[in-house]
Amino acid sequence: MEFEEAIRRSVEAYFKGMEPERLHKQGKGRVKYNKKYFDRFESEKFSGPTITEELEKGKVK
Amino acid sequence: MPVDFQMDGPIPGENFTSDTKNYAWHRPPEHTTTDSAIEFISKSLMREEAMASAIFMMEMGIDIVTLTDIYLTKGISEGKWSVDLAILLAGPVAHIFVILAKGYDIPVNLGVKKNFNAPTPAFFNAMKKEKKKLEKDKTKAVREDVADMVTNQPMGFMAGMPEEGPMEPPMPEEEESMPMEGMM
């Protein structure tokens, strides 16, 4: 697999909920900058749906 | 006589004889956890030049995944993180780019779905037609503008004169001495 393809799949997996924190069984609660953190930051800074919500609705590809 | 280059290959174990610290990625990476890497990434992306180039590329239509790929590959080449950590970092880095794009009102193109459509001959024909039409419209518009300019121009040799009497020669302005002190 090419590196670019790996990155694409990793980004897709991240926005579907498979973030680095969840890839390790002992990682839960140890990662500070997880998806929840970025989602909260995004919703606090900008009005409207977050990128995760937009992806779920199929507005962003 | 043809020369056989098959014997030019490396000798097994030759890699152990070379200096392995020649490149940044030969040494242990600077960041080994996602948190420290993300802290570094967010700080480096907040620099004016980095932010400007990222925004420019997003404005030009480059998708977030490609930007993330470029950024992470650069980090690997500089010895900031390993290839494995780069793949783990892809998601959070893409999210940072999304936040950056939203901050500058740039429409987000994530690029997760690979949709490359190769241009077909029909596409090129349509482009040619459109270009010809545009050129025609442009020349027509220029002709109309020139025609308007000619018809609206006042006629006669006095047309160019101002209405408020003859022009007086401009008075020479008094030259003020410029203070040069403090300029250097």
The residue of B46, B95, B105, B115 whose CB has the most chain A CBs within 10 angstroms, and thus the best one to mutate to test that interface, is B95
Q: Please tell me the pTM assigned to this model.
A: 0.63
Do B68 and A15 count as a contact with CB atoms less than 8 A apart? no
Residue A31 belongs to domain spanning = 3-57
Q: What is the pLDDT of residue B18?
A: 74
* pLDDT confidence tier of residue A28, bands split at 50, 70 and 90: low
Query: How is chain B classified by DSSP, letter by letter?
Result: -PPPGGGGSPPTTGGGGS-TTSSGGGSPPS--SHHHHHHHHHHHHTSHHHHHHHHHHHHTT--HHHHHHHHHHHHHHTTSS-HHHHHHHHHHHHHHHHHHHHHTTPPP----S----PPPHHHHHHHHHHHHHHHHHHHHHHHHHHHHHHHHSPPSTTTTS-SSSSPPPPPPPPPPPP--TTT-
Does residue B35 have a pLDDT over 50? yes
Q: Which residue has the higher pLDDT, B5 or A12?
A: A12
Q: What is the ipTM, given to two decimal places?
A: 0.87
Report the domain count for chain A: 1
